[in-house]
A and B are shown apart, each in its own frame.
Chain A
Amino acid sequence: GAVVSQHPSRVICKSGTSVKIECRSLDFQATTMFWYRQFPKQSLMLMATSNEGSKATYEQGVEKDKFLINHASLTLSTLTVTSAHPEDSSFYICSASPGTGGEKLFFGSGTQLSVL
């Protein structure tokens, strides 16, 4: 299957700092990528849809200014958690679909964020 690379896999930061997470599609181009958040033993909750060359679409209840998304190229989307606080601690996962009409979504390996 297609490969989606996510980095870093784990990050620990102090409260108030910003953290950037990268999501790359390694062997395909993705005009759309998705960012999810997952709490322990829970399902994945969609945060936002990242669109190459345009603004991201955020789900209801997700703060745009808190979770900045940039999709500058067809193979890279970034999520920046700004001024992180302990309640932002979570597992963040990105996904992407290869090509148009590609219903299969492939996921990155996730980023465990811990805010102290």
Chain B
Amino acid sequence: GQQLNQSPQSMFIQEGEDVSMNCTSSSIFNTWLWYKQEPGEGPVLLIALYKAGELTSNGRLTAQFGITRKDSFLNISASIPSDVGIYFCAGQRGRGGNKLVFGAGTILRVKS
């Protein structure tokens, strides 16, 4: 199925550094979601974005819904070891329970 273009594929950073990852698409989405997945677990919702230009924070995480509705980014400030995991962006075209299109994921490793 179609996937979003998510980058980078992986990151290995020093504890305390800021992290940025993004997703782009050739088509418009009405909702962007960011998830974190740890090994052997299902994805956990981090941030949901509903409006073009929307900037939303959740603790040290900040995500934005691109103005063109074709992209989104996620920033993590002052990374800590427990930030380790795979981060997925997901786009949704419709409203109300429509299926998600996922990015390929960004593997984050943090060196303490």
Contacts and interface: CB of A to CB of B under 8 A. Distances in A.
B1 A93 contact: no
Given A102-B96, A107-B42, 9 more contacts: A4-B42, A44-B43, A101-B95, A101-B96, A103-B30, A103-B33, A103-B95, A106-B45, A108-B42
Contact of B45 (A9, A32, A105): A105
Q: Which residue among A4, A43, A109 has the maximum number of chain B CB atoms within 10 Å of its CB?
A: A43
Contacts, number: 75
A8 to B, nearest CB: 13
A54 interface: no
A105 B48 CA distance: 10
A103 B88 contact: no
Shortest Cβ-Cβ A-B pairs, 8 listed: A107-B42, A97-B97, A32-B97, A103-B31, A110-B42, A101-B96, A43-B102, A109-B42
Contact of B97 (A1, A60, A102, A112): A102
B105 A43 contact: yes
Interface of A: 1, 4, 6, 9, 30-32, 34, 41-46, 49, 59-60, 91, 93, 95, 97, 100-110, 112
A44 B97 contact: no
Interface of B is mostly: loop
Contact of A104 (B42, B48, B88, B102): B48
Contacts of B98: 103
A110 B41 contact: yes
B75 interface: no
Interface in B47-93: 48, 50, 88, 90, 92
Contacts of A102: 96-97
B20 to A, nearest CB: 19
